[in-house]
Amino acid sequence: MTTTRASLLGITIVAALTLLSAASGAQRVFPGTARDTSNVTRLIILGSGTPVPDPERAGPAYAVTYGTRVFLFDAGAGVMRRVAAAGLPIDGMTAVFLTHLHSDHTLGLPDVIHTTWVMGRAAPMPIIGPPGTAAMVDHLQAAWAEDIAIRTEGLEHGRPGGHRVTVRESAGGVVYDSAGIRIRAIPVKHGSWPVAFAFRIDTPDRSIVLGGDTAPSTALEEASRGVDVLVHEVYDSKRVAPERRPGGSTWPQYLREAHTSDEELGALAARAQPKQLVLSHVLRMGGPMEEVVAGVRRGGFTGTLVVAKDLDRF
């Protein structure tokens, strides 16, 4: 009796998943969303936020897509909900890249690993990040060990091994180069992190730099020269002050060593001349967004400037 119920349940689940697959081609998308597999590069802002749990902004995460390939950069909180909303495959990405291991950029990593498996991922998914990524992923897999066992051995009949990922730690340089797409990790200075990256993505039709979290970086500036899109973090220089909380006295020093002010970004972008500058991961510290934009203009950038919102496409 138990066996019959188990098989019936198995058949029901398989049938539902097959339907979903048939509707979306090889990669599964959330019902009601449309997957764009044209050979045109798209940058999709999945999360434009910061550590602040702003309901309008998921944690930092960006997707670059070309054809059927999907590259995910960072995995902030809420990432898989945004992946679903964007019509991107919910059963796995071509590769996942991490700029650094700060929690706001990695809280969604277990979501990416486990949800893609539960949604049908069978093959190990590549994750590329700075040193420390392998240990983080090992700990995540250990943390969900009971779930993995129950999903695999219980009535859910999860694909054995589908939760697996392959981790490659990088110190910088080319981290992906295949069929016309090249992705380079550019080491940047982000406070005390020994290794943090920006990424430059070159496809047949676009060049994109994702700045990650960084103090003003000449390496990033060089890599951004004339690119189609530069996505860069920024903080409001007018709001820099010690904060009334434990450790708050060194907040201004932390900002200067780990992040880029609006005026610094304006000056950097004026030199690099990206065709489009996109502000994301904006540390407003209570100020209005207009104040940050004005700061970037004061810094000297006169080109196209956009403040990212979640699910924006460039």
List residues near Zn ion by CB under 5 A.
102, 104, 213
The answer to whether 81 touches 174, Cβ cutoff 8 Å, is no
Give 208 or 283: the residue with its C-beta nearer to Zn ion: 283
* Catalytic-labelled residue, pool 91, 104, 202, 262: 104
* CA proximity to 269, closest of 314, 300, 295, 228: 300
Which 8-state DSSP code applies to residue 195?
A: -
Cβ 36 to Zn ion shortest distance, Å: 28
Cβ 73 to Zn ion shortest distance, Å: 12
* CA proximity to 176, closest of 93, 107, 120, 103: 93
Give 213 or 228: the residue with its C-beta nearer to Zn ion: 213
Neighbouring-strand partners of residue 305 = 277
Cβ 35 to Zn ion shortest distance, Å: 29
Confirm whether 177 is a catalytic residue: no
For residue 288, the tally of other CB atoms under 10 A from its CB is 10
Give 162 or 211: the residue with its C-beta nearer to Zn ion: 211
Give 115 or 214: the residue with its C-beta nearer to Zn ion: 214
Cβ 130 to Zn ion shortest distance, Å: 11
- The stretches of the chain forming alpha helices (DSSP H) are 2-24, 79-85, 103-106, 109-118, 133-143, 145-153, 218-223, 251-258, 262-272, 289-299
The answer to whether 28 touches 21, Cβ cutoff 8 Å, is yes
The answer to whether 73 touches 62, Cβ cutoff 8 Å, is yes
Neighbouring-strand partners of residue 168 = 128
End-to-end CA distance of the chain: 54
Cβ 265 to Zn ion shortest distance, Å: 15
Give 63 or 258: the residue with its C-beta nearer to Zn ion: 258
Which of the residues are catalytic?
104
